[in-house]
Amino acid sequence: MNTRQLGQGLEVSAMGLGCMGLSFGYGPAVDTAQGIDLIRAAFERGITFFDTAEAYGQGANEALLGEAVAPFRDEVVLATKFGFRGGVASAGLDSRPTNIRAVTEASLKHLRTDRIDLLYQHRVDPDVPMEDVAGTVRDLVAEGKVRHFGLSEAGVDSIRRAHAVQPVAALQSEYSMWWREPEDAILPLCEELGIGFVPFSPLGKGFLTGAIDAATVFADGDFRNVVPRFSAEARDANQAFVDVLAAIARELEATPAQVALAWLLAQKPWIVPIPGTTKRHRLDENVAAASLVLGEAERSRLTQVLAAIEVHGARYPAALAALTGR
């Protein structure tokens, strides 16, 4: 797999692996052996960029990732996040310097490593000045415990304030064919400041694969059960979106997921999506998307077609939406 550069010279595979779903968010966690097998299979296929967070099972996902990459730790880039009280998103935000340090020390232990390659603030904390957050990470960088600083779902003002204190290597936010808000102000800012962009949910939380329809029943514990965009009514209305994507994919002799990922990769050379999966065949499908090249004419056609389709339903319930974009 080719590599790409995020900000500050951070080189990673052109596509990463989002590890959250192995432990958290999409129903029951996979067993440890299955999770380790999938992560190592990703590495064998050229993926060197792995994403986790304290909040994904209160360290459980970090521990899984740490065990999986232990044999080749120095060949991969590990990204994790701080920012929720006690590592629980529903408990509220906590980016106080003391908590950042405590979470970093715990993450180092979970990941079985002496440094975190990319440490993100998971969500902007309005009660802690961004200068204090960035300053704490700057100190951790100086101490050798962290290599690069990142932000997640941050807004323009927060990004500028953080970058002025400690250069931001990457911004991680949702971005896909059916959530294009970052194109308005965030991507231009990243280009201006030399910050890489890491789209999470690049396959629309699975919807862009075409494997989900109005009749799909999500498992207990799957957070899509509370996402307005995934109500049965919204899924039925949004099927037209997937139908168009599937038709274009057939023309390109690819799958809808591969076209959706290739479209993201074609937007900017410093965009690195991190699709997640628990299934080996989906991993292979996603990896193959890195070799699917969309020409300018194909990208323009996709953009025009997709812009004409209305997406139904909010991407987050109100409580989660309140934590994004500051």
Residues tagged active-site = 56
Report the DSSP pairing between strands 11-13 and 3-5: antiparallel
Give the residue from 121, 150, 144 showing the smallest Cα distance to 16: 150
**What Cα–Cα distance (Å) separates residue 247 from each residue in 10, 92, 253, 299?**
36, 42, 10, 14
Edge-to-edge strand ranges of the sheet holding 196-200: 17-18, 49-51, 77-82, 116-121, 146-152, 168-174, 196-200
**What Cα–Cα distance (Å) separates residue 14 from each residue in 263, 286, 287?**
13, 11, 10
Q: Is 224 left (phi over 0), alpha (psi -120 to 50) or beta?
A: alpha
Give the residue from 51, 50, 53, 115 showing the smallest Cα distance to 82: 53
Coil, helix or strand for 299? helix
Provide the b/e sequence for 282-296 (b: ≥16 CB within 10 Å).
Answer: bbebbbbbbebebee
CA distance 31 to 203: 24
